[in-house]
Structure 1
Amino acid sequence: MEDIPESVTAGAMPDEAVERMAEAMVRDHDLASQERLVRRPMPTLELVNERLQRHMDSGLFQFARRTPEITIEPIAVQRYSEFLATLPTPVSFNVVAMRPLRGSGLVVCDATLVSALVDALYGGAGTLQATIEGRDFSPTEQRVIQRLLALLCTEYAKAWKGIYPLELEFQRSESHARFVNIAAPAELVIATTLNIAFGELRGALRICMPWAVLDPVRDMLYGAQQADALAEDRRWVTQLTREIQAAEITLTAELARPELSVGELLAMKPGDFIPLERASRIVAAVDGTPVFACHYGTHNTRYALRIDECLRSDSAHWIGGSHVH
C-alpha cells in the first residue's frame, strides 16, 4: 500500500489538486453555440427535400389530374415564434407525429393552395381564387386538406427511404396558432416550404419540425458524406442496370424430349430416325430459368419462335427497371 504524502491530510488537499478539480468542473458555455450548430448546412435534409419535390410532383398530378409547378425554398432555421409570424392568414394548422421520433411536427396549408386544389378537382380553369378570409374552411375544403395531408405523409416517408424510417402521422387540425404548441416560442425549428401552382393559382405547403425532436438524428442531417454516398449509390445502380440490360445472353428452347431405352439406343444404326412429338407450348429459358412461353414455327422461311407470354416473377433474382429503387 502506497504511503500518503505528508501534505495530504484527512481534511485537506494540495492546492494544485483543488485547482485541477475546479478547472474540470467549471466550463465555459456559449448560449448561442447551439444556434450556430443548427444553422450549418444540412446536406442530408436537402437531399430529402429534393426527393420530396419529385414525389409530390407526380403525386399531385395523380391527385388533381393537372400538372403542378412545384418549387422548394431553402431550408429555414428560425425560432418558432418567428415561423408563426411569417404565416399568412388564414391557414390550416395540422399537427403530425414524427414516428419513430418522440414529438410532433406541423404542416401548414395556405388557404390559397386549398382554393387552387378545389378549383383543379372540380374542373376549374385555374383562374378563380375563392375568398376564405373571415370564415372557416368548408367541409369540402377540409376534405381536400385531409387528402393533401395523406398524400404528403406518404410521399415524405418515400423521401426518407434508405436514410431513416421517418414517417409523418396526422393527429389533429387546428384553425389558430394558439392551439398548436409543438414547441416553445423561443425554440428553434426547421421549416421546409413547397410553393405549388396550378395555372395562375398558387399557394404554399409548409413543414415545420422542432430541432429538439430531430436532435437524435442530427449527425445524420449534417452527414455530407452520407448524402454524397446516397447520390453515388443511385448513379451506381443506374449504371449497373444499363450494363446488365446490355449484356448478351443465350436463350435456349427445348422443342421436344424423346424417351428411349438403353436397348433401343444400342439397336440404332445409321439411317434410323428418332420420332419427336413437338409440344404445343415451348418454354424458352436463360441458364435454366424460364422467361418466355412460345410457339414453334417458321418466319420468312426460317425456323422461329413466337413469344406468347413473358414468364416473369416478382422474386429478387429478376433485375429490371421496376425492381431498382
Structure 2
Amino acid sequence: MNAMNSQARGDNIRDMLLDAAGLSLDRLPMLHVIFDRVSTYCADGLRQLAASQCYYSMSHIENGRIGDVLEEYEGNAVVGVFHAPGWDSHVIVGFDRDFVFTMVEALFGSDGSEPPIDDERAFTNIELSICRALFEMVGKAMKESFSLVTDTTFKFERLETRLDFAVIGRRNNQSVVAKFLLQAINRGGEMFVMIPQSALTPMRQTLARAFTGDSSVRDATWVKQIQTEVQKTTVTLNAILESRKISLEEISNLKVGQVLQLSATPKTQVKLEGNNQPLFWCQLGQADGVYKLRIEDMVDREQEFYDDILSG
C-alpha cells in the first residue's frame, strides 16, 4: 500500500512539474496530425455552405497563457466556449474580425469584387448567428479529429464577444493554441483553438506517438453520393453454359443451319459474367416456362487466370 501511495505521489508531482513547465509541442506529433484534420474537416464543411471555394490551413501551434492569448484578440474576435465532457474541461474556439467578415460575404454569395469591410463596429445579430453555426461545425470537426486519440464530444455552450467573460480556467494557466488561416474571395482571416494544457497532459503519451496511418479525410456526403451513383450503373449480365476455342478456318466454314454439339449437360454449371468479368457459378433450371439461374458459388478469378494460361 505504501508503495502504491508513493507511486501515486510521484505521478502527481511529475504532472505538476509538467504543467508548470508547459508541454513540449515538438514531442507531440499527433497534435499536428489532429489539427491538420480539423482544417480539412472545416474546409469540407464550408464546401457545402459557400458557393466560392474556401481554403483552410493550419498555421502553427504554440503554448501560451490563457489570459495572454485572449488579451491578444480582445475587441477583435468572437469566441465560442465548448465543454469537453470526456476531458472534464472547456475549450475555446475563436474567429477574428477578418474571419467573420470574410465568411459572411462568402456565405452570402459575394465574389470579392467589393472592398473588404474595415470597421471596428460591434458584430451584428446576423454575423453572430453565422458564427454560432460555424462553431457547431468546428465542434464536430474537433470530435472527429480527436477521435484518433480520445473519444469525447465538444458541446457548444455559449458565444462571447467580451473575452474577459470567456473563462475556461485561471488566466495564468498554460494552454495549447492552434491557429488556422482562412482564405476565400481574395481575402481571409484567422481562427484559433485554445485547449488548457491540463486537458491534454493525461494524453501526452498518446499524443507523443507518431501516427503511421492515412490522415486524409473523406467527405462522407461525397462518398455516399458516389456510392449511390455507382449503384445506379447499368451492367450487362451474360450466362455462359459452355465456351470453346476454335480456329478462324472453322469459323469461316460455319453455315446457316449447322448444328454445334455441346459437351454441357443440364447439371453443368453456368458461369455468370458482368461486363465480361466472371462473377458467379450458377445452376441452370426452369420454372414458369422460362430458364432460371440459381447462384451457387463465387468465381475464383485467380484460378480462372491460371486455367486460361494452361489451356492457352
User: Residue type matched to 2:41 in 1?
Assistant: H
User: Residue type matched to 1:38 in 2?
Assistant: L
Question: Which of 184, 194, 207 is equivalent to 2:180?
Answer: 194
CA contact (8 A) 1:111 1:132 kept: no
Shift of 1:90: 2.5
Shift of 1:166: 3.4
CA contact (8 A) 1:93 1:180 kept: yes
Task: Report what 1:129 is aligned to.
Answer: 116
Q: TM-score, normalised to structure 2's length?
A: 0.62
Task: Report what 2:247 is aligned to.
Answer: none
CA contact (8 A) 2:71 2:163 kept: no
Shift of 1:274: 8.9
Task: Report what 1:308 is aligned to.
Answer: none
Identity of matched residues, %: 16
CA contact (8 A) 1:119 1:128 kept: no
Q: Which runs of 4+ in 1 moved over 4 A?
A: 29-33, 231-234, 271-276, 282-290
Q: Which runs of 5+ in 2 are unaligned?
A: 1-8, 218-236, 242-260, 267-271, 283-312
Shift of 1:78: 1.1
Question: Which of 213, 220, 241 is equivalent to 1:230?
Answer: 213
- Render the CA deviation track for 1:113-166: whole Å, top value 9, x for unaligned: 11111111222232432355232x222112211221122122222223333223
Task: Report what 1:65 is aligned to.
Answer: 51
Question: Which of 135, 149, 155 is equivalent to 1:149?
Answer: 135
- Render the CA deviation track for 1:272-320: whole Å, top value 9, x for unaligned: 99999xxxxx775866499xxxxxxxxxxxxxxxxxxxxxxxxxxxxxx
User: Residue type matched to 1:230 in 2?
Assistant: G
| Aligned mates of 1:232, 1:60 — CA distance in 2 | 19
Task: Report what 1:38 is aligned to.
Answer: 23
Task: Report what 2:84 is aligned to.
Answer: 98
Question: Which of 144, 165, 168 is equivalent to 1:182?
Answer: 168
- Render the CA deviation track for 1:183-239: whole Å, top value 9, x for unaligned: 101110111111102133211111111111222222212223xx2x335999xxxxx
| Aligned mates of 1:96, 1:133 — CA distance in 2 | 26
User: Residue type matched to 1:116 in 2?
Assistant: T
| Aligned mates of 1:157, 1:33 — CA distance in 2 | 25
Whichever of the two has the greater Rg, that structure is 1
User: Residue type matched to 2:213 in 1?
Assistant: L
Task: Report what 1:323 is aligned to.
Answer: none
Aligned to 1:63, the other structure's residue is in SS state coil
Q: Which has the higher contact order (CA 8 A, sep 6+)?
A: 2
User: Residue type matched to 2:115 in 1?
Assistant: L
Distance 1:37 1:111, change over 3 A: closer
Q: TM-score, normalised to structure 1's length?
A: 0.59
Distance 1:176 1:283, change over 3 A: same
Question: Which of 72, 95, 98 is equivalent to 1:112?
Answer: 98
| Aligned mates of 2:19, 2:141 — CA distance in 1 | 31
CA contact (8 A) 2:98 2:188 kept: yes
- Render the CA deviation track for 1:238-293: whole Å, top value 9, x for unaligned: xxxxxxxxxxxxxx95457xxxxxxxxxxxxxx899999xxxxx775866499xxx
